[in-house]
Amino acid sequence: MIDYKGRSEHIKKLYEQQNALDESIAHQMMSSEKIAFATSQWRMMWRKFIRNRIAVIGGTVILLFYLTALFADFVAPYTLKQRMTAYSFLSPQRIYFFAEGRFQPFVYGLKGSRDPKTLMKIYVPDPEKRIPIRFFIHREPYKLMGLFPASTRLFGVEEGIVSLLGTDGQGRDMFSRIIIGSQISLTIGLVGVALSLIIGAFLGVSSGYFGGWVDNLIQRVIEIVRSFPPIPLWMALTAAIPPHWPPLRVYFTITIILSLIGWTWLARQLRGKVLALREEDFIMAARLAGASDGWIIFRHLIPATLSHIIVISTLAMPAMILAESALSFLGLGLRPPLTSWGVLLKQAQNIQVLLLYPWLMIPGFFVAISILAFNFLGDGLRDAADPYTV
């Protein structure tokens, strides 16, 4: 039998000999904590985000859309207003990629006629006539981003027509119009969300932080604004826009109208976050150190909620794009010459025409895809920012 009592006493002595402030112990503890601090919040978010493939796809699609919108005039083979009446109501053309074994994209020339019974226009591809698609071709000049004059376009044809998504009743190429129209559709979202954010952040944070009558008042206002069903409210407000106003003013007014309704959601979200953070110890510590309200709001609360702000802004975009499309579709939003996806869809209102030429619906798919992409992206950002999900 071993002398267990002796061993036991010996171990007790070993503990007492140990200096709690022993360098090595302190070092040991510090080094394990250092590793935790090395990764900043943003890097952790990024790593988590990257793992989410769907969100990354969404983000990539959005990036692609915005880049295309930026270089819209370059990517689009035709301009917004270009009418090729010989080819009106043309269905989307088929592109062939190989000619005699070589990579040479081309389309067939078309012979147009009218069906005697339905009066529908019919186009028959002519196999004899091959029209090669040229890249970086010089066509109608434009101003890149409104500033730099240029005339090179990504692709086009010297004669005939290359219409990837078909044409409308006036022979305008849908693909070009969708690309150029994306500029308005996508930026209304950005500007609208930015405005909503400014109003919503200001009111939401104040409401959550100050509480009391400020909170009550703002909550009441939010309640009243939210009592109105959105579409009828937008309809009523946009109906108030005089028809003779210049397009740009209409654009901005519509954006303002959309953000006037949209801010309530953002405000609510931020208020909730601020309410939760307000009780945290670090806010109390700041206050005890003598920080003013403004300091606390701008130096502590806003950075703490920044990731949340990014998430809810991303998630608010789809609603804006959707709202503008719906309104323009009804004829209440933007009007020509301003072109957005919603305005393009207005043509689809005519059911008879739509049944004959269903490709006029395609702008709606672009709306759907951008909303889908934003939702994936926003969802992925939200998961990445949430510290509690794995």
Partner 1 sequence: MNENEKYLLKINNLKTYFYTLDGIVRAVDGVSLTLKPGKTMGLVGESGCGKSVTAHSILRLLPLKTSQIKEGEILFRRRNDKEVIDLAKINPQGKLIRSIRGKEIAIIFQEPMTSLSPVYTVGNQIIEAILLHRQIKPQEAREHAIQMLKSVGLGMVESMIDEYPHRLSGGQRQRVMIAMALSCSPSLLIADEPTTALDVTIQAQIIELLKSLQKQFQMAVLIITHNLGVIAEIADEIAVMYLGRIVESGSLKQVFENPLHPYTIGLLKSVPIIGNQTKKRLAPIPGSVPDPLSVIEGCAFRLRCPAYKQKECPGQEGVAMVEVEPEHYVRCLLYDRDEGVRGNEN
Partner 2 sequence: MIAYIVKRILGMIPTLIIISIITFIIIQLPPGDFVTTAQAEIAASGGGMDASAVEAMRIRYGLDQPMLVQYWRWVSGFPRGDFGYSLEWSAPVWDIIAGRLGWTLLLSGLALVFMWLVSIPIGIHSARNQYSLGDNVFSFLGFLGLSVPDFMLSLMWLVFATMTLGISASGLYSPQMVDASWSLAKFLNLLNHLWPPVVIMGVVGTAELIRIMRGNLLDILNQQYVTTARSKGLVEKVVVRKYAVRMAINPMISVLGMQIPKMISSSIIVGFVLSIPTVGPIFLRSLITQDMYLAGTILLLMTVMLLIGNFLADIALAWVDPRIRFEQ
The listed partner (partner 1, partner 2, none) that binds 322, CB under 5 to 8 Å by sort, is: partner 2
Q: Does 301 bind partner 2 (CB under 8 A)?
A: no
Round to whole Å and give the CA distance between 301 and 209: 9
Residues 105 and 95 sit within 8 Å (Cβ to Cβ): yes
Reported in sequence order, the residue ranges of 54-120 that DSSP labels E, i.e. its strands, are 96-99, 102-114
| 211 φ/ψ sector (left φ>0, alpha ψ -120 to 50, else beta) | left
With DSSP H G I counted as helix, E B as strand and the rest as coil, what are the percentages for the chain, rounded to 5? 65, 15, 25
CB of 268 to partner 2, least distance (A): 11
- Chain residues that interact with partner 1, rule: CB under 8 A: 1-2, 4-5, 7-8, 11-12, 14-18, 20, 22, 24-25, 28-29, 32, 390
Question: Which position among 329, 334, 347, 381 is part of the footprint of partner 2 (CB under 8 A)?
Answer: 329
Q: Does 166 bind partner 2 (CB under 8 A)?
A: no
Round to whole Å and give the CA distance between 167 and 165: 7
Query: In this complex, which beta carbon is closest to partner 2, that of residue 206 or of residue 328?
Result: 328
Residue-wise burial string across 123-142, b where 16 or more C-beta atoms lie within 10 A, e elsewhere: beeeeeeebebbeeeebeeb
Return the structure tokens found at 100.
């005699």
CB of 346 to partner 2, least distance (A): 10
Query: In this complex, which beta carbon is closest to partner 2, that of residue 165 or of residue 348?
Result: 348
Q: Does 35 bind partner 2 (CB under 8 A)?
A: no
Return the structure tokens found at 153.
């376009």
Round to whole Å and give the CA distance between 277 and 204: 13
CB of 25 to partner 2, least distance (A): 36
The listed partner (partner 2, partner 1, none) that binds 15, CB under 5 to 8 Å by sort, is: partner 1
Q: Does 154 bind partner 2 (CB under 8 A)?
A: no
CB of 38 to partner 1, least distance (A): 16
Q: Does 261 bind partner 2 (CB under 8 A)?
A: no
The listed partner (partner 2, partner 1, none) that binds 286, CB under 5 to 8 Å by sort, is: none
